Amino acid sequence: DTAVSQTPKYLVTQMGNDKSIKCEQNLGHDTMYWYKQDSKKFLKIMFSYNNKELIINETVPNRFSPKSPDKAHLNLHINSLELGDSAVYFCASSPWVNTEAFFGQGTRLTVV
Amino acid sequence: KQEVTQIPAALSVPEGENLVLNCSFTDSAIYNLQWFRQDPGKGLTSLLLIQSSQREQTSGRLNASLDKSSGRSTLYIAASQPGDSATYLCAVPVGGGADGLTFGKGTHLIIQP
């Protein structure tokens, strides 16, 4: 009965590979997000997706692309992985914009 | 551009003490402010959400206050316990739409048994 779930929890991959992280929420929320937590534990918004509108943080490389097959899912695809992509990625959701956000457990991505 | 600062960066106190964590933000035009805790290797757990029209919000031993005009919020933890040890993060919405949250760097709290 996990509210926001991400898979996998850990992901180790080589440079240059393409990988995906899945996120699902069973809260019936309209808005979903992806955040990146870097090695210094600083959390930064990457994307938000609300009612089929995608808002992209301008600092995110275009190798990163979110895909939402339906309102309950927002997957993160990453192409041509680089060492600097190593981080913990968090999915989150909220009922609507500017409402309480709920986070998944995170996916620790390690690029070697 | 909204910036969020949390003071102190780290805090270690004996069990049983009452303590205050501070959060400040540069743009006072916020819809709400949210406090989270993060345990090592875990996700974020929402603790309290204060709407911009509210002055404070309480949940158990936690009390969060908001002074929007001065750009400040505090999280008060009463009668601290070792289980309260975690990193506490405050966050405000980035903008007026679905732009996500801007986070502070957190306060790493250790409660000594």
The answer to whether the beta carbons of residues B113 and B82 sit under 8 Å apart is yes
Nearest partner of A26 among A72, A66, A68, judged by Cα? A72
Q: In whole angstroms, give the CA distance from residue A94 to residue B49.
A: 12
Q: Look at residue B97 in the predicted model and tell me its pLDDT.
A: 56
Q: Do A41 and B94 touch (CB under 8 A)?
A: no
pLDDT tens, residue by residue, B39-49: 988 899 999 99
Q: Look at residue B98 in the predicted model and tell me its pLDDT.
A: 62
Q: Look at residue A40 in the predicted model and tell me its pLDDT.
A: 86
The answer to whether the beta carbons of residues A35 and A44 sit under 8 Å apart is yes
Paired tokens of B66: 């908001």
Which residues lie below 8 Å from residue B79, measured CB to CB, with a gap of 6+?
B16, B18, B61
Asked if B102 is an interface residue toward chain A (Cβ–Cβ < 8 A), one would say yes
Name residues of chain A where pLDDT drops below 70.
Answer: 1
Rounded to an integer, the average pLDDT of B100-106 is 94
The answer to whether the beta carbons of residues A100 and A82 sit under 8 Å apart is no
Residues of B in contact with A105 (CB under 8 A): 42-43
Q: In whole angstroms, give the CA distance from residue B87 to residue A40.
A: 13
Q: Are strands A107-111 and A10-13 parallel, antiparallel or unpaired?
A: parallel
Q: Do B46 and A106 touch (CB under 8 A)?
A: no
Q: Look at residue A9 in the predicted model and tell me its pLDDT.
A: 96
Paired tokens of A25: 């929420």
What backbone torsions phi and psi does residue A79 show, to the nearest 5 degrees?
-100, 150
